[in-house]
Structure 1
Amino acid sequence: MTAQSGTPAHTVRGASFGLSRGHRHWLYRAMLAVALTGLVWMVLHYGHGLIGVDGHAARSAEAWCMKLHGAAVMAALVAFGSVLPHHVRLAWRAGRHRRSGAGLISAVLAMVLTGYGLYYLGDEDWHDYASWSHQAVAALAVAACLIHVRSSRKGRIR
């Protein structure tokens, strides 16, 4: 029981489960860095001829993109993990934005699994499937993130 209200301390009624401005900015910047480094890699990998970059320069830039992408992923996973104990748990208990939140968590888990496959599957055939899956799921993850952020601001989707 809390001393002031007489209600159990574990209740979520009236609890604030929103993220602080700094926490939100850290999370958004980390996720944006992951998305942008992945997008730049895709442009270099598939469209280097269209943007006027020769194959050798594109491969060199791709390697740097993947290094930056990996670093951004580490930061994003820490940031994402930091919202699970408080934000996700309390919002879930309160019944707030469950569909968009579950979609976002599912998309992040799919990104982790396909990313793991890209990194650890040695067979070229499986690597190609993991790569295409990772890129397709990335589009869904970005959409899931935007939907969840919008739903939390508008209060429309639950």
Structure 2
Amino acid sequence: MNHLKSWQYRLLYIAAGALALSGALWLAVHYLWGAGADNLPHPLEPWLMRLHGAAVFAALFTAGMLAAGHVPQGWRMTTRSAKLRVRKAGQRRTGLALCALGLIGISSGYLLYYFAPESLHAMLGWGHAIVGLALVLLLPLHGWRKLADAGLS
């Protein structure tokens, strides 16, 4: 099996949770409580972006850790059982989707922070948020498939 160690699971879910929470809170503050009559951002917005940026560093470290061991090992795994082969194929699909969405999320976040023209900022920001939501929803599914492979679900 290709299970993560408990500290790796904790790091992964803490980083993902911090990213999701800080991003969701920023969206709520910006769109629900931000820009009053003076059209200035809410005072919490920069702090939430700083938290989001710090969580990105933890997520990138975690992604590097997974890219070095978990991902290549998952691609090399084979099985003789047809039922298990089907589950592993599904797990590979969710893993590949997580990698692709992670790359899109990193790229869109980088573009938002450094390069996005103001005219594209809102559209790119919503796309970034949707990718983040998809990652948060897909991550437990990938983990659940691992548990199903081990016969623990």
| TM-score interval, normalised by the smaller of the two chains | 0.7 to 0.9
- Off by >2 Å, runs of 4+ in structure 1: 54-58
Q: After superposition, give the CA deviation of every residue in 1:15-70 in whole Å (9 maximum; x if it has no partner).
A: x4211111111111111111110011011111227xxxx77896110110000000
Name whichever of 71-80 and 119-128 sits farther off.
119-128
Shift of 1:125: 1.0
Alignment of 1:1-158 (within 5 A): 16-48=1-33, 59-94=42-77, 96=88, 97-155=91-149
Q: Aligned equivalents of 2:124 and 2:16: distance in 1? A: 20
Relative to its length, the structure with more helix (as a share) is 2
Amino acid at match of 1:29: I
Amino acid at match of 2:10: H
Shift of 1:146: 2.0
Q: Aligned equivalents of 2:8 and 2:57: distance in 1? A: 16
- Say whether the 8 Å CA contact 2:20–2:133 is kept in structure 1: no
Shift of 1:154: 1.8
Equivalent in the alignment of 1:3: none
Cα 1:58–1:155 shift into 2, 3 Å? farther
- Say whether the 8 Å CA contact 1:33–1:69 is kept in structure 2: yes
- Runs of 5+ unmatched residues, structure 2: 79-87
- Give the TM-score normalised by structure 2: 0.81
Amino acid at match of 1:127: H
Q: Aligned equivalents of 1:109 and 1:39: distance in 2? A: 19
Question: For the aligned residues, what is the CA RMSD?
Answer: 2.3
Percentage of identical aligned residues: 34
Q: Aligned equivalents of 1:128 and 1:121: distance in 2? A: 13
Q: Aligned equivalents of 2:75 and 2:112: distance in 1? A: 32
Residue 59 of structure 1 aligns to a residue whose secondary structure is coil
The number of residues matched between the two structures is 138
